[in-house]
A and B are shown apart, each in its own frame.
Chain A
């Protein structure tokens, strides 16, 4: 009968979706399309150097009149292209100042002036440090804009120039170059690899020393993190292998921004295939990461949690390393964190641990993860609730009957059934799948009748019926 065949076909699609163990672990989804605002808790891709300009504007009016020469765009072009070094400096400084103003820097206009190649040339004027510095700053700020802006800088030939400036005897020039390179690396995998191919890594790492000032070190760490960032393709292996040991030292630093950015770097390196995860695991950094995940500082906790979340998308063995490092002891706190994004990330991490074999599920139970999971399912932010639903779904797919019983006894049913009212089709589908897993377990125990009553008591039956309309 065709009808029956069709039905079992539907059943097949449905069942297998829930049963396919390989699909349980969910990688960080790389959404190409995002409707939402760019996430506020992501690390910043590119930064403009505006701090100094703020200070300059506070200089008294007379000083300003003395020091700052007002130039029109035409005058700038003329001076930059001329040969008078004094004027070159003045024009470059004026350009830099425009690009450093807080609101609406005229990046496009400056690019249209066609002076980028000249600014790049100035980078090489080793005998004129002020000019080098002003040019580096201006180019940094141009590169901080859109992809097209960064492209203009790169196509002006800035990469090799900045890389050689890393070794400049003037620390502020070297630091500005680090910054510029960070902006270029942050644009994407293409420029990141262009930099790496121009051997940016060794001179950059050479700048890290016990005496490097904290501010400088922050810039270096941030640029390193951008060199680790982006997939498709991943950053080249040898570069990663060089950077990793330094990152691990940086994670021990006392400055929280440095720790934060090194954690971001680790989170990028773990965001990928299992062999990439393995490279990070091999450094033995996981216990430190777990420790940082428990940090009271949001800027540290966020990337550390992300990194750990990425690690547990890996194989069972890799996940076990995270468990052995103590991740399960920290997660309850994070599941109860006030910030919805932390709740969500923690629940996502948990969902991937719950996708593991039943011995890992057992550890999850032993470490007391069920109560916070149920709480989150009940009261969490919707984004976090969705992840919690995944966690429960995975748990019911991979857990033993006894473990599933324990889950039900933790009170998971009520909040789970309540979420059938969620305005999200996917979530509803997963919940239905989960309910069917629960019934399979109940059947094995001969408790189908009791589970039916429980579901009915919690208005589950009505909610499922309501879905049909």
Chain B
């Protein structure tokens, strides 16, 4: 493309069209621009337009297009990537770099920002080697005296240098930083000094001050970036200049810079906030050098806090400033800065207490944005809030001054409570602050599971609870002072391990009552508190609160919980659903009378949410609750399973038919649970579904695999005979599933689960014709991609096969695939790898299987396999006695971590649909060691003399010693 007027005209037309709301016009224009962007001069045309176009829209549009073009194309990915050639020719690159800085600086702000972005993208690639003049060019502009230009340079510098804050140290990076420091540090320092002077000469000129303060903010940010990796020599030498000025800026105020906006931070706040960050950086990393300045900053920052108002716009500044104090006061060598009683009192009084107050903004969130409020207050996503910062400062101060701080605050708490008592409806916020103060003072360590785990012993939590928390919760009106109710409930929740049990029991009916509160926060907290109390452990690993103790409240608890789900805003409240689940689990059979109503409500809920599942936690707990209802009821009355099927199958069918993906894995788990409840033959309703479960499409989704395997296992356990007789034509489909699973490294263990169930439950003749094919498939997989996980599962399978069909059958099937194969499997797989088998049941299966091979397989005694007999015995003794071998070959080290059985991301396992561990060997063999001894004895009586001679020739001494122990324990001897 020529740099011609015609081309400029064309480009203008197309740029204009890209702004058209009509896609029929817009899209082709965008396509056209993309098609020409590889042409030489294209970027230069854009630069010309953004500078000289008559129309402002075109200027802006050209600047945005230019930036995006640079973003897409500047980086040369690599010569080898053929489909991404270098779209920008060298001469254009040079021209862009030569012109862009002056162009950026002379452009209006809107365009300047785009060009500044473009410069930093180019800089990321080319700076410093391929753009050596950039720094000098920028630094020279500092002398221009034009702060519009200077701010442009500073902004660009900031976007170029800010990556120093997170990059890892490297020679390359540090070379660049050193280069930047050499060229930039002194001019920046001079600019800093000059700007500060200008601020005092223009102290009465609002518009000038605004520009100057924007510069100062950028300068302070640059300071942070340049000092991040290490303390540069230059800045160490000039620390006096920087820190003295930073310090005085912290204490500066100017009415002209104050803003009316309550929400948005003004320039002054932004600058001070950045200075706090800078001071914190030095205090943390360069303490040795910064020590002389630190006390001044502590005083300045604390004065700043005392004089800063409650408006939201100061939040970031205040929380940064408090966090600075919190980090400093924990250091032993700065302890003295805080230890004076007056200092402590003043910090508590003027910094901590005011920032703990419940503000209008909090009140708004409490009422109108309760989900957000709960997340911040309950789940700790409040890191940047003032309350949190104040709380951290309390904890920091308590490290050295727990006694005095507690003393100071106790006085405060009392006076705030008195204020409240005088006129609760006006002064309720005082009580809120008092509760918050007690909470942050008392809590030293906290977890979701246990609430507070370490408390300040100087605070009497129970007394406070009885005197100030319970009365609020006892009041008849659950809707009065909702914030205080929420505070009270939260208090119970987090101090549940500190408050004595009898007090908790008194609280339970109060909490149940508050499930009816209109405020979302209050009834959510009530549900959450109940749920937490129900999970507490007492002695003997039982729940602290027993079902018997809950007996009087069962009905009202269940009624209120389900009613709470009908309150506005809580129809899918996960805390309530979790409380329902936990109540069922605690109350067990006492819920049975209410089950008919409960299950109706749950299925209705299920039907409603399956239209548009949006709350995963809510849904999960709902399915858990369903499972619990089934388990608890059927445990007492197995026949009740039919009524659950009646209630649920209709909804399940709808879920399956509408393919509600989120719910299908859950449905399979509930169905497995139901099917396992049946004691007799499998009902026909299940058999009708069976063919559908084998459809490949269901198996495409990874989340379906574990629950579907589980369900098929339930089918095999309960209905193997029915399948063999009535659905024999489906066996190939079943094996097809196995084949698909076994081919995947991630799912092969699931395939083995299925295969093991088939071997264990299906009548042998029904699968006889497929057996050889199964072994061949397994061998193919062994040859193509052998992994430790596969081998472990394979070993369990062949031993189970051996137990089920006999050792001889195992040997025969191997050798029928290929002569001498059995020996190879023994030598190359079983003997060397058996130590890797994990799991109690799995090890037992292998032990019994190998014992059979040793003692019930004639070819082991009188063919060339005989030489493997002793090594196999030795391996078996190793399996008994040696620690499990959990080493993994290097090349598959990491496959295993992601693919270990049980590790599933897309699948949420229902705890209460859980399957008991199944031991196919069961009572047949109680002690595998004794079983080995007995079997060897039997073998030795059949062929006297041979066993002892095999043992004495090659079994190692240690193994022999163990073996003798087994023989002794079994009271047998070898002949």
B174 within 8 A of A: yes
The reply to whether A35 and B898 form a contact with Cβ atoms under 8 Å apart is: no
* Complex-state Cα separation, A379 to B229, whole angstroms: 21
Give which listed residue, A15, A33, A429, A457, contacts B454 with CB less than 8 A.
A457
Given contacts A37-B233, A382-B284, contact A423 B383 (CB under 8 A): no
Minimum CB–CB distance for A446 against chain B, Å: 14
Give which listed residue, A35, A340, A429, A457, contacts B229 with CB less than 8 A.
A35
The reply to whether B166 and A425 form a contact with Cβ atoms under 8 Å apart is: yes
30 pairs, CB–CB < 8 Å, chain A vs chain B:
A4-B746, A4-B898, A11-B898, A12-B893, A15-B893, A15-B894, A31-B174, A33-B171, A33-B178, A34-B174, A35-B177, A36-B231, A36-B232, A37-B237, A38-B233, A340-B288, A381-B287, A382-B286, A382-B287, A423-B284, A424-B285, A425-B167, A426-B168, A456-B447, A456-B448, A456-B449, A457-B446, A457-B453, A457-B454, A466-B383
The reply to whether A423 and B898 form a contact with Cβ atoms under 8 Å apart is: no
| Residues of B with C-beta under 8 A to A425 | 166-168
* Complex-state Cα separation, A250 to B447, whole angstroms: 60
The reply to whether B332 and A379 form a contact with Cβ atoms under 8 Å apart is: yes
Minimum CB–CB distance for A416 against chain B, Å: 15
A73 within 8 A of B: no
**Chain A residue nearest to B453 in the complex (CB):** A457
- Shortest Cβ-Cβ A-B pairs, 5 listed: A33-B174, A457-B445, A456-B447, A37-B233, A35-B230
User: When each residue 1-38 of chain A gets 1 if its CB lies under 8 Å from chain B and 0 otherwise, what string results?
Assistant: 00010011001100100000000000000011111111
A453 within 8 A of B: yes
The reply to whether B894 and A458 form a contact with Cβ atoms under 8 Å apart is: no
Give which listed residue, B165, B237, B453, B894, contacts A12 with CB less than 8 A.
B894
Give which listed residue, A8, A35, A379, A421, contacts B894 with CB less than 8 A.
A8
- B residues lining the A interface (CB < 8 Å): 165-169, 171, 174-175, 177-178, 181, 228-233, 236-237, 281, 284-288, 327, 331-332, 380, 383, 445-450, 453-454, 746, 893-895, 897-898
The reply to whether B445 and A458 form a contact with Cβ atoms under 8 Å apart is: yes
* Complex-state Cα separation, A37 to B181, whole angstroms: 13
Give which listed residue, A33, A381, A424, A453, contacts B288 with CB less than 8 A.
A381
Give which listed residue, A35, A38, A458, contacts B232 with CB less than 8 A.
A35
Interface size on A, as a range, is: 20 to 34
Within 8 A of B (CB), among A299-345: 340
| Residues of B with C-beta under 8 A to A35 | 174, 177-178, 181, 229-233
A462 within 8 A of B: yes
The reply to whether B448 and A36 form a contact with Cβ atoms under 8 Å apart is: no
Minimum CB–CB distance for A356 against chain B, Å: 21
| Residues of B with C-beta under 8 A to A36 | 230-233, 236
A111 within 8 A of B: no
| Residues of B with C-beta under 8 A to A11 | 894, 897-898
* Complex-state Cα separation, A196 to B203, whole angstroms: 67
A71 within 8 A of B: no
* Complex-state Cα separation, A388 to B262, whole angstroms: 45
A422 within 8 A of B: yes
Give which listed residue, B228, B450, B895, contacts A423 with CB less than 8 A.
B228
The reply to whether A453 and B447 form a contact with Cβ atoms under 8 Å apart is: yes
| Residues of A with C-beta under 8 A to B174 | 31, 33-35
**Chain B residue nearest to A9 in the complex (CB):** B894
User: When each residue 455-466 of chain A gets 1 if its CB lies under 8 Å from chain B and 0 otherwise, what string results?
Assistant: 011100010001
Residue among B166, B169, B453 with the highest chain A CB neighbour number at 10 A: B169
The reply to whether B449 and A453 form a contact with Cβ atoms under 8 Å apart is: yes
| Residues of A with C-beta under 8 A to B168 | 425-426, 429
Within 8 A of B (CB), among A238-265: none
Interface of A is mostly: helix
**Chain A residue nearest to B181 in the complex (CB):** A35
* Complex-state Cα separation, A38 to B233, whole angstroms: 8
* Complex-state Cα separation, A7 to B903, whole angstroms: 15
Residue among A33, A379, A424 with the highest chain B CB neighbour number at 10 A: A33
Residue among B167, B178, B230, B454 with the highest chain A CB neighbour number at 10 A: B230
* Complex-state Cα separation, A35 to B177, whole angstroms: 8
Minimum CB–CB distance for B677 against chain A, Å: 31
* Complex-state Cα separation, A466 to B382, whole angstroms: 11
Given contacts A36-B230, A37-B233, contact A382 B383 (CB under 8 A): no
* Complex-state Cα separation, A412 to B943, whole angstroms: 63
| Residues of B with C-beta under 8 A to A8 | 894-895, 897-898
| Residues of A with C-beta under 8 A to B232 | 35-36
**Chain B residue nearest to A19 in the complex (CB):** B893
**Chain A residue nearest to B382 in the complex (CB):** A462
Residue among B177, B178, B231, B445 with the highest chain A CB neighbour number at 10 A: B445
* Complex-state Cα separation, A4 to B898, whole angstroms: 9
| Residues of A with C-beta under 8 A to B288 | 340, 381
| Residues of A with C-beta under 8 A to B229 | 35
Within 8 A of B (CB), among A411-469: 421-426, 429, 453, 456-458, 462, 466
* Complex-state Cα separation, A425 to B284, whole angstroms: 14
Residue among A379, A381, A421, A424 with the highest chain B CB neighbour number at 10 A: A424
* Complex-state Cα separation, A424 to B237, whole angstroms: 23
| Residues of A with C-beta under 8 A to B236 | 36-37
**Chain A residue nearest to B235 in the complex (CB):** A35
The reply to whether A423 and B449 form a contact with Cβ atoms under 8 Å apart is: no
| Residues of A with C-beta under 8 A to B383 | 462, 466
| Residues of B with C-beta under 8 A to A453 | 447, 449-450, 453
Minimum CB–CB distance for B717 against chain A, Å: 30
Give which listed residue, B284, B287, B894, contacts A422 with CB less than 8 A.
B284
**Chain B residue nearest to A375 in the complex (CB):** B332
| Residues of B with C-beta under 8 A to A38 | 233
* Complex-state Cα separation, A33 to B237, whole angstroms: 18
**Chain B residue nearest to A469 in the complex (CB):** B383
Given contacts A35-B230, A35-B232, A382-B285, contact A426 B445 (CB under 8 A): no
| Residues of A with C-beta under 8 A to B178 | 33, 35
* Complex-state Cα separation, A6 to B545, whole angstroms: 48
Minimum CB–CB distance for A419 against chain B, Å: 10
* Complex-state Cα separation, A33 to B233, whole angstroms: 12
The reply to whether B447 and A457 form a contact with Cβ atoms under 8 Å apart is: yes
* Complex-state Cα separation, A46 to B237, whole angstroms: 22
**Chain A residue nearest to B449 in the complex (CB):** A453
Minimum CB–CB distance for A39 against chain B, Å: 11
**Chain B residue nearest to A32 in the complex (CB):** B171
* Complex-state Cα separation, A421 to B330, whole angstroms: 14
**Chain A residue nearest to B237 in the complex (CB):** A37
| Residues of A with C-beta under 8 A to B233 | 35-38
Known: A35-B233, A457-B445. 15 other contacts (CB 8 A): A11-B894, A15-B894, A33-B171, A33-B178, A36-B232, A38-B233, A381-B287, A422-B284, A423-B281, A424-B285, A456-B446, A456-B448, A458-B445, A462-B380, A466-B383
* Complex-state Cα separation, A361 to B231, whole angstroms: 34
* Complex-state Cα separation, A423 to B383, whole angstroms: 17
Minimum CB–CB distance for A409 against chain B, Å: 16
| Residues of A with C-beta under 8 A to B448 | 456
* Complex-state Cα separation, A458 to B444, whole angstroms: 9
* Complex-state Cα separation, A7 to B895, whole angstroms: 10
Minimum CB–CB distance for A393 against chain B, Å: 16
* Complex-state Cα separation, A340 to B231, whole angstroms: 15
| Residues of B with C-beta under 8 A to A424 | 285
| Residues of B with C-beta under 8 A to A4 | 746, 898
**Chain B residue nearest to A449 in the complex (CB):** B449
**Chain A residue nearest to B746 in the complex (CB):** A4
| Residues of A with C-beta under 8 A to B177 | 35
* Complex-state Cα separation, A435 to B645, whole angstroms: 47
Minimum CB–CB distance for A24 against chain B, Å: 18
* Complex-state Cα separation, A365 to B892, whole angstroms: 34
**Chain B residue nearest to A33 in the complex (CB):** B174
Minimum CB–CB distance for B5 against chain A, Å: 49
Minimum CB–CB distance for B357 against chain A, Å: 23
Minimum CB–CB distance for B100 against chain A, Å: 29
| Residues of B with C-beta under 8 A to A458 | 445
* Complex-state Cα separation, A453 to B230, whole angstroms: 35
Minimum CB–CB distance for B73 against chain A, Å: 25
